[in-house]
Copies of this chain bind each other. A is one copy, B any other.
Amino acid sequence: MDLDDNIFMLPGPVKMHPRVLRAMSLPARAHRDPTFFEIHREIRELLKYTFQTNYDVAVISGSGTAGMDAAISNLLTKKHTAVVAHNGKFGERLVEIVKRYSNAIAVGAEWGEVIDTEKVAEAVEENDVDAVVLCHNETSTGVTNPAWEIGKIAKKHGLLYILDGITSVGGIEVRPEKMGADVVVFGSQKCVAAPAGMAALAVSPRAEEMMVENPPYYLDLKKHLEKYNNPEKADTPYTCAIPLFQALLEALRMIKEEGIEERWRKCAAMGEATREAVKAMGLKLFPRDERYASNTLTAIWLPEGVTDKEFRGTLKEKYHVVVAGAQEHIKGKVFRIGHMGIVKWTDLAATIVAIEATMRELGLDVERGAGPGVIAEHMARYGL
């Protein structure tokens, strides 16, 4: 496939702007140089804007999982217990991470369902609990969990609240202080539209005081925070992934230029448009309750009678439109469209038209122009 010529609609990694690609491909430079400290300093300030926080921030060279691993391993030990709510692959991963270092009370919901806040409240009330861990936006199922309400439960009981914002921060409203979140993590290749390979964290002063002794060496969050928030110079304890940081700076500048509220508003509008469009085409959303369907990606049941290979294969090979499949037990049954970061209305429009063409080609019933018409209507309403 021609990487320069496709419509790239994954729920991460996402399309990167040429400005970001150019920043990434600069020649080698020293990371312990005043000009690079300046890059870190600007990233730091832009991260606070993107997270909408005054907390200290850090960037770890590693995946989003590295960020959640750092958050959990630096705050929880075998002496602690955390309620971990899960309703998909990434929530389940959080259960695994918590169990690696601490004790987990898993509060589960089916894939496609939303987390039941009542059950979280019960688990917190009925057990001796130190923390609540939640995946805000479950990328595997396209469900956004009620992170604000769960934050209230954590706050009421004075619990640490660790939030996986990997595919929410930058696309869905997150405000750590107002949500009562102590740690929020995002992955660089998601809503901020930077390359994969970095995890950013915002950490409350309370959490900074509760850091454990002897966490995993590379993920020692105290060290990372101390270096990155040094007012004199921002730096990382170990060599950072230099080109990725240059790209992250550019991607964060683009968020600032557009405005974070505008990004949230665009994701909300595109999420709604996508849902309405696929329904108009006779497709069914995977999330059971549409009120909790994510605004940064949409998970959709594959139409009956076609395989994932036929459906996504046609989209990709014939129309050069790249959407994601699904994972684990819903693999081959569900596909996912990402609409976060710098995805444009015209990208979404082309995707929906290509889905209509694909359905037609595969002999499926689809009303002519129904999906694309919905997108046109929402595009016009959005005021582009």
Contacts and interface: CB of A to CB of B under 8 A. Distances in A.
Contact of A61 (B21, B35, B62, B70): B62
Contact of A243 (B31, B73, B244): B244
Interface residues of A, number: 55
Contact of A238 (B61, B65, B324): B65
Interface stretch (A8-16, A126-134, A263-271, A357-365): A8-16
Interface string A181-206: 00000010100000111100000000
Interface stretch (A110-118, A150-158, A212-220): A212-220
A25 interface: yes
Contacts of A64: 238-239
Interface in A99-144: 100
Contacts of A26: 3, 21
A97 B322 CA distance: 43
Contacts of A29: 3, 8, 13
Nearest to A29: B3
A41 to B, nearest CB: 18
A196 B66 CA distance: 17
Interface in A20-43: 21-22, 24-31, 35
A241 interface: yes
Which residue, A22, A62, A218, has most C-beta atoms of chain B within 10 A? Answer: A218
Interface in A198-243: 198, 214, 216-219, 238-243
A69 interface: yes
12 contacts: A4-B27, A13-B239, A28-B195, A61-B63, A63-B241, A66-B238, A70-B218, A197-B240, A198-B241, A216-B216, A216-B219, A244-B244
